Amino acid sequence: SAVISQKPSRDICQRGTSLTIQCQVDSQVTMMFWYRQQPGQSLTLIATANQGSEATYESGFVIDKFPISRPNLTFSTLTVSNMSPEDSSIYLCSVEDPLGEDTQYFGPGTRLTVL
Partner 1 sequence: EDKVVQSPLSLVVHEGDTVTLNCSYEVTNFRSLLWYKQEKKAPTFLFMLTSSGIEKKSGRLSSILDKKELFSILNITATQTGDSAVYLCAVKAGTASKLTFGTGTRLQVTL
Please tell me the distance from the alpha carbon of residue 26 to that of residue 59, in angstroms, as a whole number.
Answer: 30
Which CB atom, from 26 or from 58, has the smaller least distance to partner 1? Answer: 58
Under the binding rule (CB under 8 A), the answer on residue 11 touching partner 1 is no
When binding is defined by CB under 8 A, the residue of 57, 88, 98, 111 that contacts partner 1 is: 111
HSE-CB of 71 using CA atoms within 13 angstroms: 6
Among 7, 13, 108, 113, indicate the residue that binds partner 1 (CB under 8 A).
Answer: 108
User: Smallest distance, Å, CB 33 to partner 1?
Assistant: 7
Give the SS3 label for residue 79.
strand
Q: Is 14 in the site for partner 1 (CB under 8 A)?
A: no
Site string for partner 1, 18-37 (x = CB under 8 A): -------------x-x----
**Residue 4 identity (one-letter amino acid):** I
Distance in angstroms (rounded) separating the CA atoms of residues 54 and 9? 26
Amino acid present at 55: A
Of 42, 52, 38, 43, the closest CA to residue 93 belongs to 43
Of 25, 78, 80, 109, the one binding partner 1 (CB under 8 A) is 109
Residues near partner 1 (CB under 8 A) are 1, 31, 33, 41-45, 48, 58, 90, 92, 94, 96, 101-111
